[in-house]
DNA sequence: TATAGAGTTGCATGCGAATGCAATATGAGA
DNA sequence: TCTCATATTGCATTCGCATGCAACTCTATA
């Protein structure tokens, strides 16, 4: 066991030089029909396949993309992982995955580790990068694309949905539905998605001459969202509508309302989320939400990444894809004349 | 941009040889305090970090583990990905992820690609490997561990839960609960988990002098499970209990029963799943199920993998971890004297 | 038939780090 | 202070493949 087949073995069997073998397996290199034939046959006989790592050493291209994810608990991210991985596979790239702890600082260590693997690019999903770190990536010539998060640093590419517009749509819908006391369950305050969605919501409310009635922080985490919901609905004059900064928290909120407090959704309280993860469509939740298409976001991410890899001097791009409102049954619907 | 720092740069700055630098960064190599100090200082100054790929070339160890997953739609797998990735990171390994199409054949291509990256080991979650392929891995000296799936090939290591026992527990619980017409929503027939869970269920029923009342195939897929549930409950004399081969299908079944057919769970029909994914605990489902601990399965997988990597001649191991029954509210509970 | 031009091929080298070996430095014991 | 065992160090080589360069083989044109 363990006898590696190298290009030299193939070369010997085919009666050609090692370079010839290399050229046969290098797209764009020149080789005669006869040589190709001989090499292919020998390679097949020996079961030879080029060593990607060795190839990476000399070419400087590893064809690996580092993916940093903080938590797969929010089912938007498994979707991202799956689709990103598939999309990159189609481009001949593969994904090296790194789980970052929720703790903000650790991301930097993780990125260092990623860089050690000589990845050709990095996708950072739902995590922030220190400016020092992004500088290192730039120095190393490794493009970085933030996914579902933005940062002030203009030199970082980023793909998000249009969170501000999305938040505004929620406000408009709730106002049109005649809600009076609108609460907001915030995500982790450090996240741009959180800030933007809240900002959009507030702007939308203001434009209707209203303002936020209640606000609690759920940090995008299940347990925290649960506590947040309990706090928000503890007193009397409870909100008649809640916008949760993502679907994952919206489910928790619905569960608290229905199963702990015995309230009806949307009868007593309307609930709206953000993301439109698959579960949102399940009838048990039937969650009204804002659709953030993982497919489209991944497609944009891959596109940007490929551009940046091919043309390292290209400008970073920041994209906010359209986030359509998705009406379902968890929020009271505006009357016929509404909206 | 792009000026790579190599060990040679560090060596020059520190006034030592390249080998000295290498030794400082190689655990277990010998170097004097003074040298270590000089090298560390120079490395820090230049921001040097060893190139993992170059290291892999000469050492033959890439410290990468290939992970093959078919679909993240079933939320058991995101858990696996997250925990496996973290556990391996702690061991100094990293995960190269590969999505396999559901189609059975493609897995072989994917494994070839993985091998190209010189991974030190492969974890195949919920996918089967052709015998030819596993032979190649063996020839290449790359250990393979199947996760949540077994195969006849004795030379393959595998970690599953005790699916047969789990299935039997479900049968016993349903019988104890006084159910008369027990249906089964099967998973994909090619999966060992499917076969074992069904086998356990049937054995359990037989031991109680009963047999399966209805059976439909859901293929572990959402859409198929939906159709399966509809078919199963189309006629009169419908089942009074259903065991779905995994939680993911159980949720679909519950939704069909409750929201399409207007039946009560567990009032009219008891539903039991398998896996105990996080959603099973959500009050909207409160699913009675069999607990298959991703944490424990991942721990075993890592342990086997590390053993196999350190000692390539070690025997493959096949482990079925205990799968405790988890009683919740989606199935009628046996009376006090029951069970 | 001679010959420029394009298409092939092999040689030699390099990517960045680990390691066997031999040379040297260090320290302990006498 | 001298000797020998042990710890450090550098040299040179190696991992598997890609690629610049020079030598070479064709083929088409004059």
Q: What is the pLDDT of residues A312-322, one digit of tens each?
A: 889 999 999 99
Residue A49 has its nearest CB partner, among B54, B78, B112, at B112
Residue A185 has pLDDT above 50, yes or no: yes
Cβ-contact B95, B65 below 8 angstroms: yes
pLDDT at A104: 59
pLDDT at B103: 60
The answer to whether B99 contacts A77, with C-beta atoms less than 8 Å apart, is no
Distance (Å, whole) CA B309 – CA A195: 46
Average pLDDT, chain A: 93
Q: Which residues are A160's β-sheet partners?
A: A320
Q: Does A58 touch chain B (CB under 8 A)?
A: no
- Count of pairs with CB atoms under 8 A, one residue in A, one in B: 143
Contacts of residue B249, Cβ cutoff 8 Å, sequence gap at least 6: B185, B187, B218, B220, B222, B225, B228, B273
Alpha carbon B216 to chain centroid, angstroms: 25
Residue environment code for B20-42, b if the CB has 16+ CB neighbours within 10 A, otherwise e: bbbbbbeeeeebeeebeebbbeb
pLDDT band for position A2 (cuts 50, 70, 90): low
Distance (Å, whole) CA B173 – CA B169: 6
pLDDT band for position A68 (cuts 50, 70, 90): very high
CA to C1' distance (Å), from B50 to C25: 28
Q: Does A203 touch chain B (CB under 8 A)?
A: no
The answer to whether B117 contacts A79, with C-beta atoms less than 8 Å apart, is no
User: Which of strand C's nucleotides are less than 7 A from any protein C-beta?
Assistant: 7-12, 14-20
The answer to whether A89 contacts B82, with C-beta atoms less than 8 Å apart, is no
Among A2-16, A202-216, A296-310, the least confident range = A2-16
What CATH homologous superfamily does B163-292 map to?
Response regulator (3.40.50.2300)
Q: Does A230 touch chain B (CB under 8 A)?
A: no
User: Which of strand D's nucleotides are less than 7 A from any protein C-beta?
Assistant: 7-12, 14-20
CA to C1' distance (Å), from A19 to C6: 20
- Could you say which residues from 277 to 306 on chain A have a Cβ atom under 8 Å away from some Cβ of chain B? 278-279, 282-285
pLDDT band for position A337 (cuts 50, 70, 90): very low
Distance (Å, whole) CA B331 – CA B314: 44
**pLDDT over 70, % of chain A:** 97
pLDDT at B283: 96
pLDDT at B339: 36
Q: Which residues are A325's β-sheet partners?
A: A290
Return the residue of B nearest to A64 by Cα.
B96
Q: Which residues are A182's β-sheet partners?
A: A241
Residue A50 has its nearest CB partner, among B3, B116, B278, at B116
Which residues on A lie below 8 Å from B99 (Cβ)? 82, 85-86, 89
A290-319 tens-digit pLDDT = 999 999 999 999 999 999 999 988 999 999
Residue nearest to nucleotide D13 (CA to C1'): B58
pLDDT band for position A336 (cuts 50, 70, 90): very low
pLDDT band for position A168 (cuts 50, 70, 90): very high
In chain A, residues under CATH classification 3.40.50.2300 are: 63-161+293-321, 163-292
Residue A339 has pLDDT above 60, yes or no: no
Q: What is the largest CA-CA distance in chain A?
A: 87
Residue A96 has its nearest CB partner, among B72, B96, B138, at B96
pTM: 0.93
CATH number listed for the domain at residues B63-161+293-321: 3.40.50.2300
pLDDT at A127: 86
Q: Residues of chain B whose pLDDT is less than 50?
A: 336-339
């Amino acid at each position: 066991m363990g006898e590696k087949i190298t290009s030299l073995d193939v070369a010997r069997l085919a009666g050609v030089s090692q370079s010839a073998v290399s050229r046969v397996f290098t797209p764009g290199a020149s080789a005669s029909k006869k040589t190709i034939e001989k090499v292919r046959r020998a390679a097949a006989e020996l079961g030879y396949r080029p060593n990607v790592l060795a190839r990476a050493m000399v070419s400087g291209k590893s064809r690996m993309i580092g993916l940093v994810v903080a938590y797969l608990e929010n089912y938007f991210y498994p979707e991202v992982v799956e689709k990103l991985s598939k999309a990159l596979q189609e481009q001949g790239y593969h994904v090296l995955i790194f789980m970052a702890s929720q703790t903000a600082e650790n991301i930097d260590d993780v990125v260092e580790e990623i860089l050690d693997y000589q990845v050709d690019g990095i996708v950072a999903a739902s995590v922030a990068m220190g400016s020092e770190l992004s500088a290192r990536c730039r120095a190393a010539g490794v493009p970085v694309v933030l996914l579902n998060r933005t940062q002030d640093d203009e030199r970082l590419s980023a793909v998000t949905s249009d969170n501000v517009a999305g938040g505004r749509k929620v406000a408009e819908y709730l106002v049109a539905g005649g809600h009076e006391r609108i609460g907001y369950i915030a995500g982790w305050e450090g996240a741009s998605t959180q800030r933007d969605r809240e900002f959009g919501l507030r702007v939308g409310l203001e434009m209707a001459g209203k303002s936020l009635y209640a606000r609690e922080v759920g940090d995008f985490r299940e347990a925290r969202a649960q506590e947040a919901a309990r706090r928000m609905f503890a007193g009397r004059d409870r909100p008649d509508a809640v916008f949760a900064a993502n679907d994952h928290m919206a489910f928790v909120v619905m569960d608290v309302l229905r199963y702990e407090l015995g309230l009806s959704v949307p009868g007593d309280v309307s609930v709206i989320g953000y993301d439109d993860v698959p579960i949102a469509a399940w009838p048990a939740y039937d969650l009204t939400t804002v659709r953030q298409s993982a497919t489209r976001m991944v497609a944009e991410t891959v596109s940007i990444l490929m551009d940046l890899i091919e043309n390292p001097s290209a400008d970073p791009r920041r994209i906010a894809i359209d986030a359509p409102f998705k009406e379902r049954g968890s929020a009271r619907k505006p009357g016929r004349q509404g909206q």
